[in-house]
Each structure stands twice: as structure tokens, then as C-alpha cells.
Structure 1
Amino acid sequence: MAPNRIHVIAVLMASAAGVLATVPASASDRQVYQFDLPAQNLGDALRTVAAKAGLELYARADDVNNIPAARLQARMTAREAIERLLAGTNLRARFDKGAVIIRGRPTQKSESDSAAQTDIVVTGSRIQGGKVAAPVTTVTSADIRKAGHADLGEVMRSLPLNFAGGQSPGIGTDQGSANTNVNGASSVNLLGLGPNATLTLLDGNRLSYTGVNAAVDISAIPVAAVDRIEIVADGASAIYGADAVAGVVNVRLRRDYNGASVMGRIGGATDGGGFQQQYNIVGGRKWTSGGILATYDYLSNNPVFASQRIYAAKMASDATLYPALTRHSALVSLNQDVGDLVSFTIDSLYKNSRQQIIQGFVSGQSHFASGADALAKTTTFSIAPNATVKLGGDWLARLVTAYARDDTDIASNVYSAGAIISAGTRRYKNSSISIELGAQGSIGELPAGPLRAAFGLGYRDVGLNLVGTNAGITLQKFSKHRDNRFAYGELYFPILSPNQRSRFGRELSFSAAFRYEENGGTGSVALPKIGVIYSPVGGLTLKGSWGRSFRLPTLYQQYSGYAAVLDPATSYGTGLPTGATVLWLGGAGPNMKPERSENWTISAEIKPAALDALSATFSYFNFDYTNRVATPISSSAGILDNPIYSSLVTLSPTAALLQAEISGATVGLQNAAGQPYDPADVVALVDTRDRNVARQNFHGINLAVRYLARLPHNRSLDFTLDGTWIASDQQLLAGLPYVDLAGTIFNPPHLRARAGVSYSTDMLSLSGYANLSSHLTDNRTAAVAEFAGPSTFDLSAQFKGGNGFELGATISNLFNQKPKTIVTASAYQTPFDTTNYSPLGRFVSVSVRKSW
């Protein structure tokens, strides 16, 4: 292990040890607050008390809304205030690890009702009340507002455990094949495993892919509709199926919102360009048996041109470092109970966006002289009707259905001397339809609690329709669908509970899950997952999980076609006859199978009873990712002389084999040999088409610490520290050496950290954040170069005035740190690492909000 890696691990472990050392034996939070709450809805009163005390509130909306709460005017603890508000209701509160959970008391009249209300559903398990044997990171709407983020793409890019590479509007040209900007979408890329290796859900429902990389655009979800984001950075395919290799991100909606608000925000980069406008409106209404939430959000962003940034002087003057982008998004969520046994939810999402990018081929000139531009128009729509039925006892059945589509149309022009010399179009139409029926409940009683189970089955169909043209001629066209049939089961075994007062520990539980899937065109998979949670003493919880996950090849990877090119044999090997040729194949390969991952995670969660303001999580993760779809060789030079590549080479191919491969190519034979094609001259067939060949390993450490200090007069100081250290490498083909991924250009740095401090009163919130990264290595050429990673500082402030008005201001990248330039070969290439640096520079924004 390299010395710098040992140093990083030592620092993080020392931090964790320092936290562990603060765990006292026992105490309780006796902080007293002055409450002066008017008579109001019980849900609103509970949320006010929880916010004042810094507690996470979990409750079913229909349990606490539309129940009147008397005026509360007294000095008391948060626990006393909540218990007084609940007096006289059929509700009770459970306080646990900085959270308060409101649930109904069991009654003989409605045993099934109490079962449905007893516990919350946590991302990472299908069992209501089950606990997840991996760390769960939660980002609340209050966290998002404090940081001044405009959309969920910005939220995810700020988190150390997420890599900004993949699909993102700031991605430049020639930044690695996995990093693209097709239509201005933002995808999640947990731990840098890839934008299509993280499953993104909207309140548990799948969304349609966008573009060609089988990734979801999380920025399509209006940020004003979000209650919180739950992130489990642990393989979860045994729970959720395909794509959850690195984990799952579940965006939770504000289903209990009752009121309305409007917001306006403007901002811009102090170096020029990037002027941004955002406006949104959100309204919600609750009634006894249901509620509705509706949100609309508009965002526009002016481009940042190369001429506005000194470090991009080698590019064309009007090349865009950040695109012109407009986005309209809307969300409607409805929930309704029908009698005492049945409830429905319907979530619908719509997005319409436009993105324009400009690329130039000559330094300092307009792209009209020599260059290209492209306008992408995207429409996204999804609807997810779900139904839950109480079956008796504590058993629930749930029918989950979803339909989604994402259509992107791109029109591009190539210019020379002010004239269009080529015009093309690309159309990507993604679709998804799914139905799933599941049930969960208790199957027995153990001394520590009920033995719980969940099981279900379902069907999903994913499609991609692609058409590419140039000068009116269709160059690429296919329409493919993949169907998926699955069944799953999950068990939760409580072994010890706090009520048992066992000498072996405070709490112990095991979980196990299994999933079987049949996937059209790629084969079947069987996926196990096990987990254990152990709390030896109060305030300390140890977790461990092991499982297998998978990702299916994208439809584009599998069906986009391949090229057959006839080349001179001289660059492929030595000692070959004069006039010898090679038929080279590149593109989508046949017989692709699922990518496989085996992962394990161990973690420690610390919540001292005597220091309830402190919480910390320390975890270690390891992902062994095999059968990754990749191009098996980076260069064909000398391939015939190297036995390592013998599996890619067919010597002295027959004329029939050559003709079969040429006939299957998208445009037939492309002759670059400088001589007529003659099968007798072809000495080798070199097949470098994509296939399940690469192996990757990702391992590292996550650390999350929070300390909330209570100050007199309802003031507080909130300290946070989040950090991720990661090491990853890749073997492209058996027999080749492993090469580093993390710490190299266009990949995550080894270390990312975000430290924050917030000062809050009843009217004012001031926040500051430091974003730090370790150095990066540019190893693309023989002259290896190292440069410092981005280190930026952000400030944010919110002021609550009277009558529901709130003013906000944010400064991102306070000291205007600029990207480090890298070696480029042409004006077309972006001269810095856009996966780790932003071209916006210092960005200042102000906002105003009015709530009713």
C-alpha cells in the first residue's frame, strides 16, 4: 500500500477513534426550549417542535394531519412538548437516535391499522420496520435549502460519496467514454462505479433512462417537491434488481405538505456567463383520507463561453464550457385512502428541457469558421399508480406499477467558412413499463420481536428507439426492448432487543434476501444478500453486509451495431507479406451477459446517549466488479505479435467468415487499406468489439460526523463532516496489468471531503462549507503530470422575515478557484478535467420565497 494511502486511512481512523472516545455511559437530553405555538394542525405543530430540537420526524401523514392541536405555551424539553401535543390522541412517540417516530397505539378495533402505522419503511429493505445493515445517508430539504442548491443534480455533486463524472451538463469534450453530456441531464454516480451502476428511485418507483447510458436524470425531479434523499451506498440488487450495483438513491416527496409557496432565484458567475434564473411554485393540501402535492419549477442557465475563461484560450472563442440550458419540470403526487383497508398513491413527473452546446475546431475562432453546434430537446414523463391493501394482522400487500418515457431529439450542424457543410440528427426514445406485486408482514414471534418477511414478483420492459441521420441519410437505426421477470424474498430476524436487557448486548438482528431474474437477451441471475446489526451497548451500532449485484448491458451497448474496417496489416504486426490486410471490428459485440459485482460493507454508527447532539458513522466498503462491458484493447498496434491478445485474433480467416462479419456491420465494409478488398489478402480478423471482459475493484472508507450544539435563546451551531477515501483499479483483459482509476484524470480523486458549519436562530441561518479533494494524476501520456484537486469554499444565508417571507443568498467557490489545465491535442478538446472541476468559478445567487 502506498504511503499516501496509509496516511489517509490513518487520518480517517483517528477521526473515528476520537469520536468513539467521546461515548459516555448514559444520560438524556434535557435541553429546555421556550415554545409559543398557536392552535393548529397536529402535524404542523410536531414539525415545528422537531425542527427546533433538531430531530428527524417520521410519521404517516394521515396519522397527524387534520387533527387539532391546542396552543402550546411553555418552557419544556422537546420530548415533553411532543408528549403534550399527543395527549388525548391515539398516537405515541418513540425517541431513537436523534429521531422521533409517531405511531398509533394498538387497538382491538383496528389491529391492521396499527400494524400499518407502526414503523417506517427505510430505503434498502422491503420490510416495513426492518433495519438496513448498511449506512443510510439522508439529505433533508432543510440541508438542500441551507446549501442553496438549485436542483438535485447540484445536491448529488456536492456529496463526497458521489462522483460528478458520468452524465452531467458541465461535462466537456474528450473526457473519457463514460463521461458524456447528451442532453443536459444529471445522473448519480455513487463511488465512481459508473452513472448506470446506481439505481435512482422516486419514492420507491423506477424512472425512465435518459440518453444512451441507461442512467436516470435526477435533476428532472423538482427540488421544491423533495422532503429528503435517502442514499444507501451498498450493493442492493437482491432487494431492487438491476443497476443497484453501487447502491440506491431514493428521492422522498413532501406528501404531508399543507400550504403553498413561491420562490424566485437569480445568480451568475462573477467571471462572466452562467446567468441563472429559477422560479418555482409548490402547493399541497391534506384532508382526512388523503392529500395532494403539486410543484412546477423553471430554470434557465446562460452558457459559459471559452472566451470568458483565460484557461480555455486554446479553444474556439465561442465554444461552450457550460451549455445554454432551459428546463421546465412539474410533479403531481396524490394519495388517497378508500375505506380502512385500501390506499392509493399516484406520482406523475414531467420535464421539458433544451440544451445548446457549441464546439470549435480552430483555436480563437468562431465555430462558424470551423466547428459544430447541437440543440438537444428532451421530454420526460412518468406516472406511477400504486395500491396498498391491508390483509389482516400486520400483513400488507402492495401493487406497484409505473410507466415512463424519455425522448431526446438532437439536431447538429457542422460549419466551415460560415456555411453548413453537414447536418445531422439523433433521436433517443427511452421507455419503461413495470408491474410488481408484493406482500410483507410477520410470520412468527421471537423473544426479541416479530420475525418478518417480504416476498413478491414482477415484470419490467425497457426499450430504446434510436435513429441517427446525416444529410438526410439514415446511418444508424434500431428499436429494441428487453423484458425482465423477477421474484424476490426477504427475511428479518430480531435476536436481541433492548427490552430483553441481555448481557450479550443491547440489540442483534439478521437479515437475508434473495432475488431471481430472467432478462431477455442476456440470461438469468440469482442474487443473495445477508446482513447483521449488533449493538453491544447503547449509542454504538455495528453493521455488516455481503451481497451480489448486477447490471445489464445497456441496449445501446448491445444493439448499436459495429464497424468493419479493412486496414493495412503493417500497424498490426511485423513480418507480414507485402499487401497484407487486416479486417478490424469495433463497436457493439455479440452475446453480452450481465455485469456482476460482489460487495461487502462494515460500519460503526455512534450516537452517545449522554451527548445526543453527536452522531457519527464510519464504514469500509469493497466492490469486486467483474464482467464489465468494455473495449478489450485501447490500441490495436502490434496486436498480432502479442499472445495476450490471441483471443481477439483469428488468423487466416475464411472468406465465408469475413463475409459474414462484413454483412453484419452497420454500413458494410469500410476500406481504409488503399487497395481493393481481396479475402486472400486478409491475414487476420481482429475483433475489438465491446464485450464482458473488464474487472474492477473499488474499496475505501466513508466517514460522516454531525454535532448539533444547542445555544441559549433558541440558537444552534451545526457542525458536519463527510469524507470518502476510495481506491480503484481496472484490468481490461486477462493477462494485462491492473491500472489505477481513482486518483487519475476523469476519475474520482482518492479523497473528497465536505465540512460545514451552520448557525441558526428562529429568523436567521448562516452556513459555510469547505469542499476538499486530493491531487489527480494525468497519465494519458508518457510525461505523467500531477495537479491539485479542487478545493472550494461556499457561503449561504437565509433570513426569515414576517408574513412567510424568506430571503436567501449563496456564494459558491468563494475564492474563485480555477481549473488546472491539462494537455490537449486540438482546440476541440476541453483543456481541463470537467468531471472534477466546474467552469462556473465563483457563483453568486439571491432568492426570495413566500409561503402561506
Structure 2
Amino acid sequence: MHCLFRTMVGERRFRSMIMVGASIAALSGTAHAQKSADREAEGNEIVVSGTRVVRDGYDAPTPTTVIGTEMLEKRAPLTIVDALATLPGFKQSATPGSTAQGATGSNGQSFVNMRGLGANRTLVLVDGQRFVPSTSQATVDLAMLPSFLIKRVDIVTGGASASWGSDAVAGVVNFVLDHQFSGLKANIAGGIAERGDGQNFTMSAAYGRNLGDRLHVIIGGEYYHHEGVPARSRPWSENRGDTTLIATPGYTPTNGLPRLTLSPFVYGNAPYAGVIVNPPLRGTTFNPDGTVSATPFAYCRSTTTLTASNELCDGPRDGRIYSTYYTVMTPKQDRGTGYIRFDFTPSDNITLHADALYGSSKTEFTSTLATTTVLGALTIPTTNPFVPATLRNQLVAAGQTAFTFQRSFLDFNNGDGFSHVTRHNRTQRYTAGLDADLGDRWKLRGYFEYGKNRSDFVFDTIPIVSRFREAVDAVVSPSGAIVCRSTLTNPNNGCVPLNPFISSGRSQQELAYYIGASESTLWIREHAAAVNLNGEPITLPAGPVSIALGAEYRKNSARQVVDALSAARAFVGANQQPLRGALSAKEVFGEVVVPIVKDVPLLNNLDVSGAARVTDYSNSGTVTTWKAGVNYNPIADLRLRLTRSRDIRAPNILELYNSALQTTVTVIDPRTNTSVAAQNFTVGNTNLQPEIADTLAWGFVYRPSWLRGFGLSVDFFNIKIKEAVGTLSNQDILNRCQAGNADLCTLVTRNAAGTITAITNQVLNLRRVDVKGIDFDASYAFDLGAGRMAVRGLANYVSKFQTSDGVTSINQAGSLLNGQPKWSADVTVNYNIGPVGIMTNWVYIGSGSYDNQYKEGIDINDNRVGSINYFNLQADYTQKVGNGKIVYYFKVDNIFDQSPPNEFPIVGNNYDRVGRRFLAGARFQF
């Protein structure tokens, strides 16, 4: 380690140590072990958010997970999403180091994605309340939350819309803050990757106390800094090129070759030095000063030309570009959060509370490279004054008047041709609420929230296409000067001619003409209010009937402004577009739990529950959601449960109002089996309707009285989404068009020669999604020697992840391209002996296919992706200091430095890309 940490001050002694095996329940399971542990620690029952009715996680019919304080601390996450992302029920969650950095990537933000159904189908709450979104897709950046005060995380896996509202199709993740905290606590930690990069530092502190008998105040803040991990900084990434799916060179329908090839050594056809790609001087390349090189360009295969967008090689090649060449492993990030809360109790039965939060997160990274692969190949006439004389003479002698030229411009930014991206998010959130005990077992809760988020996005050092083309088209003026051809007719246009053959020495005046920055600012605002009444109006022989009634209102609005060049789509990429839209919802809901039988032979406990919610959306009318559940204990050790629900998700502002976000994509034309670069336009749709999901979950919980400390839960789930809102991938549009879907063919634009030039990807209610699988949770805690051992195993099996557009239906369960391994697991072993604690963690991502729609040997050369195992280790030592304590901890992630599979990054962001890394720190509380 490069960092040493000094002891700060003591930490108040825990009232009890919560074992790891009882800190976390499976995404399918209950919080059965957590419940008993927290009761011992806190002296009363906890209430988790599987339901609006006041019940603990153990009794909730909807599968509910509770992640407790100790597990959050043991995992020592740099960001709160790191503690969730590896759990089997979460797939393709966005973390600062896991996803694409670019105009459409997450750009360092953190979004949870339950079951891989999309972050926009996972509802994020704080204390059961809405939190202002960070994006126009209604997703919440978890980095904005006050993680230093989170005491637990409640996770409801499906069946939650009737209880908690829209967006809960996959489930709910509710972050519960410690409002009763008193004293002072702090944390300081730093880390580094084994290869000397990725330096990071975090510190946080919180202070709470009573001011008199009626007022309680909590104030705190945290700061986090990560230096980032640069591109090409790992052995698996620096030489192997880009793993890409391309059309197989030399393929014909009758020669036995597979139609497509998935290979790690795929390079763009635009080398740094530049190359002529057409006969008779094909392969001619250039020196840095623009003169012709004596050494021709070394093609990987004689049959491979550079007129397509890629070149397939049989091994690493120097001087070549590939699409992930510029993609950083982890972006540079600075973020901070400040939080303050007041709880005022004017009487013993009423509590008024208010809080305020401010968060800031700034992320910086490199993105795309200026290359003719996306700018388009250059046709340069022999009369261009920058053409070397020897080359011009050869071309003229061969009867050529022009040639085709490809090049990656590494010199467009003082020797760094990459685009530089900065995203700065700032969040403000204010709430005020009331909790009242009305007596006779009735309670009233209500709150109002106002939040706003500002996101500034700058995509710098990016070519302006029309100006770049003008600058390349150089001529000699009548006065003998080299000028742009356009300057002859428009002398004051400011065009500075570009020499495409040199790779150094460009002037700032030249670069300023055809290089610019795409800038946008997005404002999100949210107003939300809710009131909830809980009570037990009657008592039956089996127990009290519990009910919850309530109403909610929320309004979200978004406005994005962009620079003039972006609005005109002048840049080669990015080109964020103006956006303006709003939507609101009015809701009423009710929920009831009715005990039927208790303490009867073979009917140890039986209760039923139900919930309903009516929602009136401003843009799509009224929708009703509902839920029904059964809990049945034939004996005390065994509980059976079943939940059936109707859930919804309303389209978000981006899906409704997006005005053609433009990107450049490389696709394979199924007509010709060739790779082509095309423009992609993602367009919103104001006619979208809410998507509807039918969720069925059933399973059992077994806690044998004869084996104290053991627990097992198994839950089956089936989620069927109708009229799913979304877009197909560009390749899917082409493949399904070729398969006969005429509606999708209207989204594809071809030129007169039949070449694909653009794909319009409109958001539609066009899909059905059917997800089916099983969640497992097994735990066992027992004394071992002088210490205590706890083992927790979580696993998830996906048997079906089927999508259908009405014509084509594909089951992508086991497809790693879609982030859906059939098997995934997370196993934790924790041993505490005296002041020492040791935790090991194994994360398993199962093997599968690259893409289930391809048949190996016919459609693709290799359709298999291997399994991946990650092992992590954490150790801590507790030192008592007066009435408090200090906990020193040390953690190693990815102990065996496991690299991603060869198919990374196209198989998604479930995988670690940084390698072995270390973290050390100290927590104190008193």
C-alpha cells in the first residue's frame, strides 16, 4: 500500500455484533436472520419496506432483502452501488468503473439494475420517499445519497408497484437512513490498484445530538476522489485490440465459413500514420512530416481490404486503432455530499422532520478518437497541394486523379486526438414531513419533497464534420497560397486548410476551425408529496387486521439546452439535442393484511394480503395496479408464500420527448454480410403508453429448530412485461427486418447503392419481455473455537429472458451479450474472534453464449463465453477507546487478478476491469 492512515478518535461500542450471515438476505429471500440480529441490537422489531403495512421482513409475503450496517461496512464499498452490484439479483448495474463513457453512457454515475430489466424499472427510494432523478430517464445516481448515514438497504424483488408506485416493475431499493443517530462517527480510507493507478480516497463524518428535550439534529458530509484508471493499462486490453463481431472475411454461403466472426484482434481501418486503401498504391503510408514512408502498411491478411470499417488480424498489431483503445477503465471522479436533518417533537405523539441534501459529482474521462472510420473515408484529388510530389507523380502516371485515404488523427489535440468528456452533476433535495401516533394503533405519516438536479455535459475535442471536410479540400489560390476551396468563393469564412498526411505541428488556429466542444445542460425538477395512514381497526382470533391507506402526487420536469453546433448536429458525434417535457401522477392506494388462522395443527400461521393503487398519469390516463399474497406456515419451521401482482412503469421524459440523439454505430448489413458505419438517431414518442407487468413469485423459507443458525429460502419468479417501452439494438432492427418485420424495415435508411446510411431507433411499445428464474439463499451461523463463523450463499438461476417484437422471439437466458448468465452467485464467509474479523467473498458469473440468436459454426465462429470467479478478502481489528472504538480495516478485491473474458467489453458490465486492488481505512464512533 502507498497510503498509511492515522488513527482519528474512538467509536461508540456496538450494542451487539451483527453477524454477516444475518446481515443480508437473498434477493429472493426474507430478512429472517437479519430480523433476529437487529432485534438484539436495537431492542425492537425493524420495519422493512416490502409492504406499506407495518410488518417486518420475515413476515412479508413479497420476497424482501435487508442489507444491514455490518455488511455495508464489511464490503467497504467506494460507492454504495458497489455493495449491491455483485449480488446475484442485480445484473448490468452501472458503477463508475463498469460502463461506457461517452455521449450515451453512464459516465461515472451509479444506477442499480434489478434482474437486468433496466435501471429505469428499478424504483429507488430514500426512507420510503421519492428521490429526485439524476437523468431524464428517471434514474437516480446513488452517488448522490448520504451513504454515511445509511443503516440498511431494503430490497423488494418484484410485485411492488401497488405498494410503492410506478417504476417498480423489477422491484424497489429503499435506502433507510439512521435518523436517531447520536454522537460522532467518521470514516477515512484510501486505496490503489496493484499496478499503481486508480488511487482513491474517501472520508466522511456525521454528528447527531439532542438540543433540549424536543429537537434532534444530525449533520454530516462525505468526500470521495478517484484518480481513474486509464485506457490500455491492463495486459488484457493493451495489445489484443477490440473484441468485436464482424462479417467473416471471405465468407460465401457455400464455403463452410461462419457468417460472422467474434475475435479479439479487430482493428479499425484507419491507422495512425494514414494509408491509401485503393489500388494501385494501396498500402502506401506516411511519415510524421507527411512524406511517403518507405515501408508500406502491413496488412493483416492479403484478402482483407481497408474499405470496410474493420480489419481482422490473427494477433496484436502496433499502430492500429480499435474502439476501446480510448475507453478508460475507470473515470476520474470527485464527489461530495452534505446532509442535515431536524426532528422536532412538539408532543409525545407528533414528530415534525425536515432535511436538506446537496450533492456534487464531477467525472472526467477520454472518449472517442477522431478517425475517418466515423468521419468517413477521404477522397483526395491528386491536385491537393499537400499530396507529396513523388506520390502525385506516381498517381498521374497510373492515370489516377484521386485516391481514398484513411487515418486516425492522434494530433488533433496537442498529440492527443481523443475527445475529453466532463459531466458535472449537482443535486439539491429538500423534504419536510410529519409522523403522528393517532392512538388506538393508528399512525399517520406524510411528506413533501422538492428536488432539482443540474447536469453539465461537455464533450470536448470533437470534429465539426462540415468544417473538417472543407479544411481537407485544399487548393492553391491564384496568389499561390494554399487555401480551402471554399475560401475562393467566401474569402472571410475563416477556413484553415488541413494537411491530412502530417501527424504533428498543427496550429491552434487550424484546430480551432474544425475542432469544437459539444455542450449541454440538463435540469431535472421533482415535486412529490404523500400521506399514509396505518392502523389495525379490528382484531380477529388469529390476530389484528392491518391496513394502510394513502395518496401521492408527483411532478417531474426536464429541460435541456445545448450549443448551436450540437443543435445543428454539426459534430461527428455527441450532438446532444434540446429537450423539454414534464409529466405528473396522482395516486391513491390501499393495502391490507388479514390473519386467517394461527396456532392450529398444520396451520401454524395463515394470512392473506392485498393491495391496490389507482394512478392517473398526465400523459397516458388512468392505470390500476394490484397485489395479492399468501403466507402459510404448516409448521413453525417452514413458511410457504405466494404473491401475484400487476405492476406498471410509465414512460419517462426522455422516452416521450427525446429529439433524435445522434450517434455513429457500426453494424453488419444482413443483406450483404458486410460491416458498415451508419448514423443512429434515437427518437422519443409522445404516444407511448405505460408498460404492464404481471409478476408471480412463490417459494418457501425453512429455518429448522433442530439446527439453530441455519436458514434456507428458495423463491421462483416469473415477470411478464407487456407493451414494454424501449428500443431494439440497431443490429436487432436490421436482423429482424431481414427476417420479415416490415415495420422495422421502415426505420432503416439506405442510399441509392443500397448501403445503410442511418437507422432511426424510435422508442416504442413494441416488446414483450418474459423473465423466469429462481433465487436461492442459504445461511449458517455457528460457534467455531473461540469465535463465531457465519456463511451466507446467494444464488440466482435464470431459465428464461425472452423478448419478442411480435415477429421475432428470442430467449436470451444464458446470453452474456445481454448480461444474463443462467447462474450467478455470491458467497460470504465471515469469522469473528475477539477484536479480529475476517471476511472472504466469492462472486461467480456463470458461462453462457455470446448471443443466443446465433448458431455456432453457421452464424458465428465461437458462441461461448466462459465463467468468471472473483475472490475478495477483508480483515478488521477493533480497538476500544474510552466509551467508543476504532475499527481498522484492510481489503483486497479481486485477489487473483482475474481478467474479464475475452469477449469483454461487449458482453456487458458485470465484470471487473481494473484487477487486484487494495483499500485500507479506519472507522470510529463515540
Q: Return the alpha-carbon distance in structure 2 between the equivalents of residues 723 and 847 of structure 1.
A: 30
Kindly indicate whether the alpha-carbon contact (under 8 Å) linking 2:819 and 2:908 is maintained by their aligned counterparts in 1: no
Q: Return the alpha-carbon distance in structure 1 between the equivalents of residues 228 and 661 of structure 2.
A: 35
Kindly indicate whether the alpha-carbon contact (under 8 Å) linking 2:326 and 2:368 is maintained by their aligned counterparts in 1: yes
SS of corresponding position for 1:506: strand
Query: Is 1:126 aligned to residue 52 of structure 2?
Result: yes
Kindly indicate whether the alpha-carbon contact (under 8 Å) linking 1:256 and 1:286 is maintained by their aligned counterparts in 2: no
Structure 2 counterpart of 1:597, one-letter code:
A
For residues 14-62 of structure 1, what are the alpha-carbon distances to aligned partners after superposition, in whole Å with 9 as ceiling and x for unaligned? xxxxxxxxxxxxxxxxxxxxxxxxxxxxxx89x52464899889xxxxx
Unaligned runs of 5+ in 2: 1-11, 25-32, 242-321, 372-407, 464-502, 570-576, 664-668, 673-678
Moved more, 838-847 or 312-321: 312-321
* Deviation of the 1:211 alpha carbon: 2.4
Structure 2 counterpart of 1:725, one-letter code:
Y
SS of corresponding position for 1:838: coil
Q: 1:382 aligns with which of 429, 439, 460?
A: 429
Kindly indicate whether the alpha-carbon contact (under 8 Å) linking 1:745 and 1:776 is maintained by their aligned counterparts in 2: no
Query: Is 1:790 aligned to residue 883 of structure 2?
Result: no
Structure 2 counterpart of 1:709, one-letter code:
F
* Deviation of the 1:517 alpha carbon: 0.3
Query: Residues 200-239 of structure 1: matches in 2 within 5 Å?
Result: 200-239=124-163
SS of corresponding position for 2:741: helix
Which position in structure 2 is the counterpart of 1:48? 15
Kindly indicate whether the alpha-carbon contact (under 8 Å) linking 1:317 and 1:365 is maintained by their aligned counterparts in 2: no
Query: Is 1:460 aligned to residue 554 of structure 2?
Result: yes
Q: 2:843 aligns with which of 760, 763, 771?
A: 771
Which position in structure 2 is the counterpart of 1:162? 90
**Residues 628 and 350 from structure 1, CA distance in 2 versus in 1: closer, same or farther, beyond 3 angstroms?**
same
Please say which structure displays the higher CA radius of gyration: 2
Q: Return the alpha-carbon distance in structure 2 between the equivalents of residues 633 and 790 of structure 1.
A: 26
Structure 2 counterpart of 1:851, one-letter code:
Q
Q: Return the alpha-carbon distance in structure 2 between the equivalents of residues 504 and 158 of structure 1.
A: 39
Query: Is 1:814 aligned to residue 892 of structure 2?
Result: no
Query: Is 1:137 aligned to residue 68 of structure 2?
Result: no
Q: Return the alpha-carbon distance in structure 2 between the equivalents of residues 393 and 762 of structure 1.
A: 46
Structure 1 counterpart of 2:182, one-letter code:
N
Q: Return the alpha-carbon distance in structure 2 between the equivalents of residues 306 and 546 of structure 1.
A: 47
Unaligned runs of 5+ in 1: 1-43, 58-93, 105-117, 566-570, 575-582, 651-669, 676-684, 823-829
For residues 718-755 of structure 1, what are the alpha-carbon distances to aligned partners after superposition, in whole Å with 9 as ceiling and x for unaligned? 11111111134343421213241543224132211111
Query: Residues 41-190 of structure 1: matches in 2 within 5 Å?
Result: 48-49=15-16, 51=18, 100=39, 120-129=46-55, 131-166=59-94, 168-172=96-100, 181-190=105-114
SS of corresponding position for 1:399: strand
Q: Return the alpha-carbon distance in structure 1 between the equivalents of residues 42 and 735 of structure 2.
A: 69
Kindly indicate whether the alpha-carbon contact (under 8 Å) linking 1:168 and 1:181 is maintained by their aligned counterparts in 2: no
Query: Is 1:347 aligned to residue 355 of structure 2?
Result: yes
**Residues 441 and 373 from structure 1, CA distance in 2 versus in 1: closer, same or farther, beyond 3 angstroms?**
same
Q: Return the alpha-carbon distance in structure 2 between the equivalents of residues 562 and 282 of structure 1.
A: 45
Q: Which structure has the higher relative contact order (CA within 8 Å, separation 6+)?
A: 2
Q: 1:333 aligns with which of 320, 334, 341?
A: 341
Q: Return the alpha-carbon distance in structure 2 between the equivalents of residues 52 and 192 of structure 1.
A: 29
* Deviation of the 1:694 alpha carbon: 0.6
Moved more, 437-446 or 794-803: 437-446
Structure 2 counterpart of 1:479, one-letter code:
R
Kindly indicate whether the alpha-carbon contact (under 8 Å) linking 1:649 and 1:686 is maintained by their aligned counterparts in 2: no
SS of corresponding position for 2:762: coil
**Residues 144 and 564 from structure 1, CA distance in 2 versus in 1: closer, same or farther, beyond 3 angstroms?**
closer
Q: Return the alpha-carbon distance in structure 2 between the equivalents of residues 56 and 455 of structure 1.
A: 31
Structure 2 counterpart of 1:347, one-letter code:
D
Q: Return the alpha-carbon distance in structure 2 between the equivalents of residues 282 and 496 of structure 1.
A: 46
Query: Is 1:275 aligned to residue 214 of structure 2?
Result: no
Structure 1 counterpart of 2:865, one-letter code:
F
Q: Return the alpha-carbon distance in structure 1 between the equivalents of residues 350 and 776 of structure 2.
A: 42
Number of paired residues? Answer: 703
Which position in structure 2 is the counterpart of 1:827? none
**Residues 392 and 375 from structure 1, CA distance in 2 versus in 1: closer, same or farther, beyond 3 angstroms?**
same
Q: 1:292 aligns with which of 210, 217, 228?
A: 217
* Deviation of the 1:562 alpha carbon: 4.0
For residues 380-423 of structure 1, what are the alpha-carbon distances to aligned partners after superposition, in whole Å with 9 as ceiling and x for unaligned? 12122110223331112222211122211011113576745121
Q: Return the alpha-carbon distance in structure 2 between the equivalents of residues 765 and 794 of structure 1.
A: 14
Moved more, 398-407 or 839-848: 398-407
* Deviation of the 1:646 alpha carbon: 4.9
* Deviation of the 1:820 alpha carbon: 2.0
Q: Return the alpha-carbon distance in structure 2 between the equivalents of residues 351 and 778 of structure 1.
A: 39
Q: Return the alpha-carbon distance in structure 2 between the equivalents of residues 443 and 399 of structure 1.
A: 20
Structure 2 counterpart of 1:818, one-letter code:
S
Which position in structure 2 is the counterpart of 1:435? 529
Q: Return the alpha-carbon distance in structure 2 between the equivalents of residues 248 and 704 of structure 1.
A: 19
TM-score, normalization: structure 1?
Answer: 0.76
Q: Return the alpha-carbon distance in structure 2 between the equivalents of residues 527 and 810 of structure 1.
A: 45
Moved more, 368-377 or 768-777: 368-377
* Deviation of the 1:832 alpha carbon: 5.2
* Deviation of the 1:698 alpha carbon: 0.9
Structure 1 counterpart of 2:529, one-letter code:
I
**Residues 563 and 119 from structure 1, CA distance in 2 versus in 1: closer, same or farther, beyond 3 angstroms?**
closer
Query: Residues 602-613 of structure 1: matches in 2 within 5 Å?
Result: 602-613=698-709
Q: Return the alpha-carbon distance in structure 2 between the equivalents of residues 295 and 253 of structure 1.
A: 12
Query: Is 1:587 aligned to residue 683 of structure 2?
Result: yes
SS of corresponding position for 2:563: strand
**Residues 102 and 810 from structure 1, CA distance in 2 versus in 1: closer, same or farther, beyond 3 angstroms?**
closer
RMSD: 3.5
Q: Return the alpha-carbon distance in structure 2 between the equivalents of residues 753 and 393 of structure 1.
A: 46
**Residues 282 and 755 from structure 1, CA distance in 2 versus in 1: closer, same or farther, beyond 3 angstroms?**
same
Structure 2 counterpart of 1:100, one-letter code:
R
SS of corresponding position for 2:162: helix
Kindly indicate whether the alpha-carbon contact (under 8 Å) linking 2:876 and 2:888 is maintained by their aligned counterparts in 1: yes
**Residues 445 and 561 from structure 1, CA distance in 2 versus in 1: closer, same or farther, beyond 3 angstroms?**
same
* Deviation of the 1:167 alpha carbon: 6.4
Q: Return the alpha-carbon distance in structure 1 between the equivalents of residues 604 and 325 of structure 2.
A: 65
Which position in structure 1 is the counterpart of 2:637? 539
Q: Return the alpha-carbon distance in structure 2 between the equivalents of residues 168 and 303 of structure 1.
A: 9
Which position in structure 1 is the counterpart of 2:820? 748
Which position in structure 2 is the counterpart of 1:516? 614
Structure 1 counterpart of 2:39, one-letter code:
V
TM-score, normalization: structure 2?
Answer: 0.70
**Residues 192 and 168 from structure 1, CA distance in 2 versus in 1: closer, same or farther, beyond 3 angstroms?**
farther
Kindly indicate whether the alpha-carbon contact (under 8 Å) linking 1:390 and 1:396 is maintained by their aligned counterparts in 2: yes
Which position in structure 1 is the counterpart of 2:587? 486
Structure 1 counterpart of 2:722, one-letter code:
T
Structure 2 counterpart of 1:163, one-letter code:
K
Which position in structure 1 is the counterpart of 2:445? 398
Which position in structure 2 is the counterpart of 1:303? 228
SS of corresponding position for 2:880: coil
Structure 2 counterpart of 1:807, one-letter code:
Y
Which position in structure 2 is the counterpart of 1:246? 170
Structure 2 counterpart of 1:777, one-letter code:
S
